Amino acid sequence: MLTELLRILEQNQGQLDLAELSQQLNAQPSAVAGMLEMLIRKGRIDDMRANCGICQSCVLRNECGLPANRARRFRLSTKVPTQG
Amino acid sequence: MADLTIALAGNPNAGKSTIFNALTGLRQHTGNWPGKTVELKAGTRTIDGVSIQFVDLPGTYSLAAYSPDEIVARDFIVKEHPNAVICVMDSTNLERNLYLGVQLLEMGVPMVIALNMVDQALARGIEVDFGQLSRLLGNAPVVPTSASRGEGIDRLLKVTIQTIKDVKEAGNGPAYNCHCEKPAAFQVNYGKEIEAAIGQLSSSAEAQQLPLNGTCSRWLALKLLEGEDDVVEEVSAMPGGLTVIDKAHSEIKRLESIYGDDVDIITADHRYGTVSGISRQVCRQATPDHKTLTERIDRLTTHRLIGLPIFMLIMYLVFRIVIDVSTPYLDWVDSLINGPVASGLSSILMALGASEWLHSLVIDGIVAGVGGILTFVPGLIALFLFLAILEDSGYMARAAFVMDRFMRYIGLHGKSVIPLMLGFGCAVPAVYATRTIANHRNRLLTALLIPFMSCSARLPVYVVFALAFFGTRASTVIWLLYVLGVVFAILIGFIFSRTVLKPDENSAFVLELPPYRRPTMKSLAIHTWDNTREFIKNAGTVILAISIILWFLLNLPWGVTTQEESYFGQVSTAITPALEPAGFGSYETSGALITGLIAKELVVSTLSQVYTGTEVEGVTPTTTEAPSPSFSDQVASIVVGFLQATADAARSLISLIPGVNLLDEEGPIEDTSLSQALQTRFSPLSAFAFLIFVLLYIPCMATIGAIKEEFGGRWAASAAIYQTALAWLAAVLVFQGGRLLGFG
């Protein structure tokens, strides 16, 4: 499933929302979210929301719901394993 | 010391703590796991003379030992050897919850599954075959529960105690080192190569007689192959452990060369595949079309064909509400500033014996300039409020999703949409927000397109001209300007992406849309006030300063009799010929556009000063004392004016409903003093051409500065030049084309 997810990300030229990705993997969206979290931990995917520093410098960051409500975006990291 | 220990494990929000509280009542205490800040809750209960300690482990999605919670949960099971683990699973998210479940089963500990929230699953049309689930999980008992309703808890306790008894009785039979060695016990099949490596390491551990102390050797081997640091450290410290570690290293190298990837990715891959298969076999969607409210709404808002029209319709409605409903307040603020405020200040200045030039500076300069901008605060409050509603509700994420399809035509992706949308507020933070885009070419192109997004500073210009020349269709015209900005951005992006900024890389990404939620009043108020405060602060600083400077430029050299002869007039007149083909070739508009380089709001402020600075409502700028209304009359007029504006705003709001019209024929729009002045200097066609120019021409200096800082002076200068050229060309085409078509 994880390798399939990475393959889909590599092959896809545009964006996929979580619903489309879970449909392609035939998995529940929450499960796909879990896979994405693991891949982020392994450095295989970048969570773009984590890289954005705009909210970090905002005095309202602890009260604001915007970071949670902004669409999470993940980008395939440049490290691609070579298939043996 | 309790007779039995039962641990509760599960994903966060699966209902674990609710079940724990139901099992233990008030007989709980909290303690820290040694060496960690993670707290563990424990509680006791005596049943049939047997004391049972329940331990509520931290909620985790896995036992991968990335976080303290995961380490504590895993270590408790490995080191404390609870008699059983109750794995609480959320029935509505079974697949994700099963991932932890199978990891717990792999540890070889007796397990009972509490399939929680079955009521919510049924409400969503999800049916789970409990029996099949149990069979697929190596006959681990599955007990449906609804912890929030207190259902199934007693049965869960009974089944767990029975499971512990069964294990004890089984201990009298064939000797199994752990639960997973029993026949038909659950195991994830990791494929031939990894299974072989697990076998090798298990054998090595047994051969070295590692003191496993009840730890499942298969689980240990798996953790060593996955390279879990703390497990490696513990085994290294055991007698004979280093031999096992060496073996693990060589197996890891072998597996990585076969799979071309890290072992833990491959093992997780197999686990996800297993839980996915189990989930598909045991879950049935009773009503296939049964979706959450978020999913139902998203079928429309992210639809490939109608998603964009929906977005445009929503933005159109927002602008209709912002303009139509805020216009009465705009008129009220305008009459307030040019009436009581100006007359009050004038009276004070005259009472203090202020000189004529100081009087003129204050009234014709500051009040006209700053006041001209503050008039638009009601409209901006409404705009910021509605943008905050769209953001907080989660809809903006859908808008970003919909716009992404068009981004692809210019070689950009959805990650560019957020900086572009920030540009609707202010271009400066939007340019800095492009730092989230890793690819330099995409970053640069996004930054170059941001100025085409009509920032909030342009709104006062749009509003004053639209209301002056297009009456009840003002909101439509303003909406059209915003749309045109986006269209131009896509066009320019298309040209750039095929010429000077060709795409060099395409990276796919996944967009996770947050669920819709009801915005809270507090959040809306905070965001609306925060944005409005910035605007007012700007008015009190930059615009105030420029208004003062502009007054001097309009009145110097001393003794000039006309504005055209002033320094302002002389500089503005120099560029006026260039603007004549666009229909607004006058020193006033030229000068206003020049001040717009500093801040776009200054366009209105300057026009207000230039056109209305000597015509203040109710004020005669002479040294003789003119009669002024009493204080009480002024207060009364302010209050009455506000109430009237509120009534007009309410009528405008209700009149938005199709088929309802509470507005009188002339509509609630009253011309402000600036509007009246503009109507004598512009025609509707030249006004529209002017708006097009303002939409497209060079962004403010702060934005140019941001582009220079991020991408260099060359690109900043290029942006200034091509945008101004484009603005001029578009405005000339609109004006001359309109004249040819007979609109002029």
Homologous superfamily assigned to B4-181: P-loop containing nucleotide triphosphate hydrolases (3.40.50.300)
Its domain, for residue A48, covers 2-76
Residues of chain B with pLDDT > 90, as a percent, come to 21
Least confident of B13-17, B35-39, B335-339: B35-39
CB-CB under 8 Å, A16 with B508: yes
CB-based contact, B130 to chain A, within 8 Å = no
**Tens-digit pLDDT profile for residues B187-240:** 788 888 888 899 889 888 888 888 777 678 888 899 999 988 888 888 898 888
Quick: pLDDT tens for B48-61: 888 999 999 988 88
Q: Give contacts of B298 with chain A, Cβ < 8 Å.
A: 19
Higher pLDDT, B616 or B57: B57
Peptide bond into B557 cis (omega under 30): yes
Q: Give the model confidence (pLDDT) of B653-664 as tens digits.
A: 887 777 777 665
CATH tag, B188-259: 1.10.287.1770
- Rounded Cα distance, B196 and B368, in Å: 84
pLDDT of residue B217: 82
Three-state secondary structure call for residue B201: helix
| Predicted pLDDT of residue B735 | 94
Element holding B727 (H helix, E strand)? helix B713-740
Contact A76 B527 (CB under 8 A): no
Residues of A in contact with B66 (CB under 8 A): 41
Interface of B with A in 135-154 (CB under 8 A): none
DSSP secondary structure letter of residue B318: H
Residues B509, A73: C-beta atoms closer than 8 Å: yes
Q: Output the pLDDT for position B723.
A: 93
Give the span between the Cα atoms of B227 and B252, in whole angstroms: 8
d(CA B259, nearest CA chain A) in Å: 6
- Alpha carbons B377 and B368: distance in angstroms, whole number: 15
pLDDT tier at B111, thresholds 50, 70, 90: very high
Cross-chain residue pair A48–B436, CB shorter than 8 Å? yes
Looking at residue B213, its amino acid is N
Statement: residue A63 has pLDDT above 70: no
Q: Give B260→chain A minimum CA distance, Å.
A: 5
Quote the pLDDT of residue B346.
87
**Structure ipTM over 0.90, yes or no:** no
Find out whether B693 and B723 touch, Cβ atoms under 8 Å. no
The structural domain count of chain A equals 1
Rounded to 5 degrees, φ, ψ at B30 are: -120, 140
How many angstroms separate the CA of residue A54 from the nearest CA in chain B? 7
- Give the span between the Cα atoms of B146 and B116, in whole angstroms: 5
Contact B408 A13 (CB under 8 A): yes
First to last CA, chain A: 18
Question: Which of B63, B510, B513, B531 should be substituted to probe chain A, the one whose Cβ sees the most A Cβ atoms within 10 Å?
Answer: B510
A15:B435 CB<8 A: no
Q: Where are the domains of chain B?
A: 4-181, 188-259, 309-543+610-698
Mean confidence (pLDDT) of chain B: 82
Task: Give the gap in angstroms from C-alpha B204 to the nearest C-alpha of chain A.
Answer: 27
Note whether residue A81 is domain-resident: no
B392 shares contact with chain A (CB less than 8 Å):
yes
Tell me if B272 and A27 make a contact (CB, 8 A cut-off). Answer: yes
Which residues in B lie closer than 8 A to residue A60 (C-beta atoms)? 526-527, 530
For residues B422 and A84, the model is more confident at B422
pLDDT (0 to 100) of residue B290:
47
What distance in Å separates the CA atoms of residue B446 and residue B490, rounded to the nearest whole number? 10
The whole-number average pLDDT for the span B320-330 is 79
Q: How far apart are the first and last CA of chain B?
A: 95
Would the pLDDT of B685 be above 90?
yes
Name the one residue in this structure whose structure tokens are 């912002």.
Answer: B322
- Average pLDDT of the segment spanning B713-731: 92
- Of B447, B455, B478, residue with least CA distance to B531: B455
β-strand pairing of B39-47 with B50-56: antiparallel
Of A15, A28, A70, which has the smallest distance from its Cβ to B418's Cβ?
Answer: A70
What residues 495-534 of chain B have any CB closer than 8 A to a CB of chain A? 506-514, 517, 519-520, 522-523, 526-527, 530
- A44 within some domain: yes
B236 contacts B242 by C-beta, under 8 angstroms: yes
The DSSP element (H or E) to which B142 belongs, if any, is strand B142-144
For A34-65, give one letter per residue: b (16+ CB within 10 A) or e: bbbbbbeebebbbbbbeebebeeeeeeeeebb
